[in-house]
Structure 1
Amino acid sequence: MDQAKEVDQVKMEKEVEVEVSADEDAEVDEVEMEMEMEGLVVEDEDLNNAGSDEFHEEVKKFLVEVQRRKQGNDGKKGELDSYTIGIPLLVGKSHPYFYVIADSAILSDPNFNGTYLVYFRDASPNENQTPKVKDAQHVQFHLSDVKIQDGIALIYVPRGKVPIQAVEISDRPVCDNQTVYLFSYEPIPREGKKGRLTPGNVTFAGLEFLRHDCDTLVADDSSRGDQGSPLFSTRGQLVGIIDAEDTRLAMNGEGIRKRLNAMFNRNDECMDAILQHVRTIGDEKSRC
């Protein structure tokens, strides 16, 4: 009889806990609703101009080109050998440098004898710059300033006089059927060419990768197609980087975070923490 009473008592306590939990959830919902009505809660919303020309220009300002060029003569830039899109990950605040993430394929050829450049395709002068922005559109970097991990390269670049803005990586996991935009440049890069902004949807959302159905360029002898191109959300945040071999596949934010951690032998659970570590290294490097 005593055991039966104990069982009944436990059941009653659990029922009370469930009721209390439900009441607490209801109270939280009510508070959030009141805050939202008072304008204290700002919901994460899609950009009203997602997919428009304005949206195109907004995401384009985050991007640069990582170029591999053959040896030039008399100090001149050599012929373009290959390129991929680079995505500025962070910008030094008080020191002139930035870090770019990019597909690592064009940086992985040990037999290549040439130069590596970051090209600011959309650079334009501001009130603090000289008119000769073209001279600053190309900044050379060395392979000693590159870290590579599982298809992703992190490149340290001196900023020079060109304005640059870091991309924001989405901290939300993507979901099936989510709308995304693929940004890519023309197969043969030429100054003045605008990029393509192609809408599509996520067809599969995995832990570190996603699949999408955006129209992609087919790589040929003169280009690498959309390999390394960024995928943006409707909020203008980076949600993926196109794979080097399968352009329907993209590494998501979680995949990027894990590879950055591996580069620096860290185990940071959030993107902000690993970026702060990268910033500290960049600050120290720029002082040398």
Structure 2
Amino acid sequence: MFDAKYRIDPAYEGSYYYEKYKQPGPVEEDINTMHRYRDAIVYSEGGQELERSMFGAYVLFPYHDEQNYQEHKFYKSIEMVNVGAFPFLPNATELMNKFLEEIIMDSPEKAYERSTRPRGTQGYYKNKLAGKNVLVGSLREVAQLESSLKYKYYHLPLENISDHKILTQIEYVAVYQSKGKFADTGETGIHYVGKVKDWKVLRRGEIKERPARKGTENQLYVKFTIEEWTKRPEPIVSGGLGIYRLLYTSKYIFDRATEIAELRLETEEQLREWREKRRLGTVKVELDHTQVDLAQQVRDIRLDE
């Protein structure tokens, strides 16, 4: 939402505005109004739950010095919370033009990333999705692992993530090395895990650390930037199973698992049974599919004989 207010605080020396912002800018009251607009406007489609329909609100005010204004708090707040102000005069439209070009070119995923979520969103989805804050992804080949470890990142097609909300709660990424592709290296299973520093939705061609396969350049990918990869003292072994694309688990389970089937434990009943049997010895989790992420149910949790 853009609202032309046609007024400016001149920030006279000694005034409250000058002491706080050091230069002319939009009237503080107008910015506060934009916050209220952004948070108050909602809609409901087809009788469904109310949703916030605006991700930003901006004041347009008459000011010519765009260069200096870029240091103003109400310009920097646009990137931080999507509420702020733009100078807007016939000879002062550069900042506005740049911003419009960015939002026009945004993908839906990028627009979602721009938006400011309500306080508590991350905690809500953490509870909603059973605290699954670890993404375990499969690797196509040895060269992908080498690139990921060297440049501290992991990438995968966005289409592999069925519920994009889970991206807000992923704190760790681990990589699965299959026997079929990594047998010659002497390392299979899950050896490496890294804490997520940041994530972005990009076109595959924009991920420069590793060349894109022909035909995938324009596909949307998620790129996780990793603070540091850590190698587990003992790997999580395959136990005769595999991971086709990816799966989610909790850090609690991940840190204690010995076989990848254990990463599919989800219900309180399963976790309780697993904890009790782990106290007595090694546990074997049986699934209804040889690919752990494609399994529909846990068939049995028993002590391994």
Shorter-chain-normalised TM-score: which range? under 0.3
More relative contact order, 1 or 2 (CA 8 Å, 6+ apart): 1
* Structure (1 or 2) with the greater helix fraction: 2
TM norm structure 1? 0.23
Q: TM-score, normalised by structure 2?
A: 0.22
